């Protein structure tokens, strides 16, 4: 959810957009920079994933061909402190899946 991180991801994606190899990106959380338990926490996380989806969508080849693995971090909600981590709930990242 930090603009600086999205800016750096954009540079990484730019580098891979025209490669002949189909990349696999493993993005490791925390996907929000603070632990979110407040009432609007769900909206904060969905907004962060929407920004990520918009960034990915701005690279047509990557959005169509690349694979993305999202690994939740310890501060991501509903993940708990157990290992291995559960997957990111679909309602948070639905915009990326479509």
Model pLDDT for residues 32-86, shown as the tens digit of each residue: 877 666 566 778 888 888 999 999 999 999 999 999 988 887 777 655 566 666 6
pTM: predicted TM-score of the whole model, two decimal places:
0.79
Using 50, 70 and 90 to split pLDDT, how confident is the model at 6? very high
Is the confidence at residue 16, as pLDDT, over 80? yes
41-57 helix and 90-97 helix, angle to the nearest 10 degrees: 20
In the DSSP assignment, the letter for residue 71 is E
Beta-carbon neighbour count of residue 23 at 10 Å? 16
Beta-carbon neighbour count of residue 24 at 10 Å? 9
């Amino acid at each position: 959810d930090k603009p600086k991180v999205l800016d750096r991801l954009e540079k990484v994606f730019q580098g891979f957009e025209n490669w002949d190899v189909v990349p696999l990106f493993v993005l490791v959380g925390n996907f929000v920079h603070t632990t979110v338990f407040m009432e609007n926490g769900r909206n904060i996380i969905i907004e962060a994933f929407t920004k990520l989806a918009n960034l990915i969508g701005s690279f047509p080849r990557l959005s169509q061909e690349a694979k993305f693995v999202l690994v939740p971090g310890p501060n991501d909600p509903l993940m708990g402190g157990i290992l291995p981590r559960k997957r990111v709930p679909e309602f948070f990242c639905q915009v990326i899946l479509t």
